[in-house]
Amino acid sequence: MTETLFLSGSEVDGLATPAEFVDAVRDAYRQRGEGAPAEPRAKLNNAQPPGFFTAYAAVLPDTGAMGGYMYSAGFGAEDAWFMTPLFDAESGEPIALLDGASMNPYKTGATGAVGADALARQDASSVAIIGSGPQAKGQLRALSTVRDIETVWVYSPTKAHREGFVGKMDRRLDASVAAVASAAAAVEGADIIVTATNASDPVFDGETLDPGTHVTAMGQYSPEKRELDDATIEQAKYVPDLRERASQDAGSFLHAQEAGVIDEADIHAELGDVVAGNAPGRESAEEITVFDSGGTGIETVAGAYLLYEKAVEEDLGTTIDVAPASEALTGD
């Protein structure tokens, strides 16, 4: 038997800071750029009851861990559950199983921050956030660890939601955070734009982007849906989290490709290649950059292992026994 640690959501909630997640995720993408294996998500859709089951995984040799997410969303309960198994990358033994929901905004926000750190101007200080849910909060909290943010403009369609977001984040951050009545008002003059929505259609007009703007899009991973329009993709240096994902479920890229304004040669590089120094990030103050983040096992393993290490230090969790196949796979 192998002892495996089960960590509940309440045990891992608040264990790590946004900055710690950013450091862990940055190193994970550096490993990806140096050849660490990772695959895009596999998504299984169900018609009745409507829902989907999805999974993605990665191996991080230097971290010493591998694993990923498996989660369901929708179905009869109309909710979601995130389970995160972790394995030792040398022995292959299971080391932990995490209730992974509470870390989701933090590991995803950290990924957005790593992308922005690689692609946004160093002097970027104004941010537009389109979306006001937990993911938008995670993006902004992580982004504030890599840039000196002075002003944040927030838009989401429901006034109460965007004002509630502002009330919480204005107290949490040093920056001035304010709600605006339209996406156009949010993005006007912004150095960094973050889209964290469930929108099916583009959420702002790419023709209005100023030179030097960076855009992080993280709300969609469906070929039928997109947060960014063709104009944004056409003029940008385009960096996805995984190159293979761009042609699989990156709806903004796929739509622009179908429109004939770009092709696969216009994928600049994966984020890991930029972080590892295999490809340049921002090369001028005027270029427009896009980081398209759809979710991978890279940041999931990095974030989960960070929480696992902290939980071990604080003696948290419940030990469960897992039998190796050599003992359990008997056929008797």
Structure confidence at residue 158 (pLDDT): 96
In this predicted structure, the answer to whether residue 263 has a pLDDT above a threshold of 90 is: yes
- Residues 3-32 have a mean pLDDT of 97
In this predicted structure, the answer to whether residue 244 has a pLDDT above a threshold of 90 is: yes
Sheet holding 151-155, edge to edge: 176-179, 151-155, 126-130, 192-195, 214-217, 288-292, 236-240
Mean pLDDT score of the chain: 96
In this predicted structure, the answer to whether residue 332 has a pLDDT above a threshold of 80 is: no
Q: Count how many Cα atoms sit within 13 Å of the Cα of residue 18 in the half-sphere of its side chain.
A: 22
Percent of the chain with pLDDT over 90: 95
Q: Which residues contact 49 (CB under 8 A, 6 or more apart)?
A: 74, 75, 76
For residue range 22-49, list pLDDT tens digits in order.
999 999 999 999 999 999 999 999 999 9
In this predicted structure, the answer to whether residue 145 has a pLDDT above a threshold of 90 is: yes
Strand partners, 267: 238
C-beta contacts of 65-72 below 8 A and 24+ residues apart: 65/89, 65/95, 65/301, 65/304, 65/305, 65/308, 66/301, 67/297, 67/300, 67/301, 67/304, 68/297, 68/300, 68/301, 69/100, 69/295, 69/297, 69/300, 71/100
For residue range 163-209, list pLDDT tens digits in order.
999 999 999 999 999 999 999 999 999 999 999 999 999 999 999 99
Tokens of 118: 């690689």
Residue 265 per-residue DSSP state: G
pLDDT band at 330 (very low <50, low <70, confident <90, very high): confident
Percent of the chain with pLDDT over 70: 100
